[in-house]
Amino acid sequence: MFSIILVATDGSSESMGAVRAAAEEALRHNASLHTICVTNPGAVQSMFVSPQTDAINVNYELVTEFLAEEAKKALEEAEKEAESLGLSVTPHPVWGDPREEILRCAEEIGADCIFVGSTGKTGIEELLLGSVSSSVVTHARVNTMVIRVEEKE
């Protein structure tokens, strides 16, 4: 049914649940598995750019380095999860708006299914902008699976 699966991760438990589900589905269908982690510097840029001068505070550079490192860790964690099931993955570290970049990547690689977690690390941004998973489901041209991880009691 599926030949190319894309799964979005941000390192959260919800996204790792999506990675597990996507990897299991890839095994069932002998599909290739791609992971994507989108770093969105725009989400924090306004905190580090002076509105009067448009000068970027040096802390912004540190934050973007930190975000890039977190994305790398999330992709490595996803790769370990897939490898534990005997799968190899193709990682896609990307900068931009996750709602747009996940869809762009899916189209670029010819994915026929996208997996996302029901929530991620976005916090207040999710309330203000709408969730990434909702946007992907609404705008995807292919099947999209939203994975909800049960909370442990």
The Cα 82–Cα 95 span in angstroms is 23
Residue 46: the pLDDT is: 60
Quick one: pLDDT band at residue 66, thresholds 50, 70, 90? confident
Going along the chain, which residue ranges are E strands? 4-8, 32-39, 89-95, 113-117, 143-147
19, 7 Cβ separation under 8 angstroms: yes
> For residue 145, what are its two tokens?
């699976």
Q: What is the average pLDDT score of the chain?
A: 86
Residue 75 exposed, middle or buried by CB count within 10 Å (0-12, 13-18, 19+)? buried
Quick one: pLDDT band at residue 49, thresholds 50, 70, 90? low
State the DSSP H helix or E strand holding residue 139, giving kind and residue range, or none if neither.
Answer: helix 132-139
Least reliable range by pLDDT among 5-9, 51-55, 94-98, 140-144:
51-55
Residue 26, pLDDT > 90, answer yes
Residue 144: the pLDDT is: 97
Residue with tokens 């030949």: 3
Residue 47: the pLDDT is: 62
Read off the pTM.
0.85
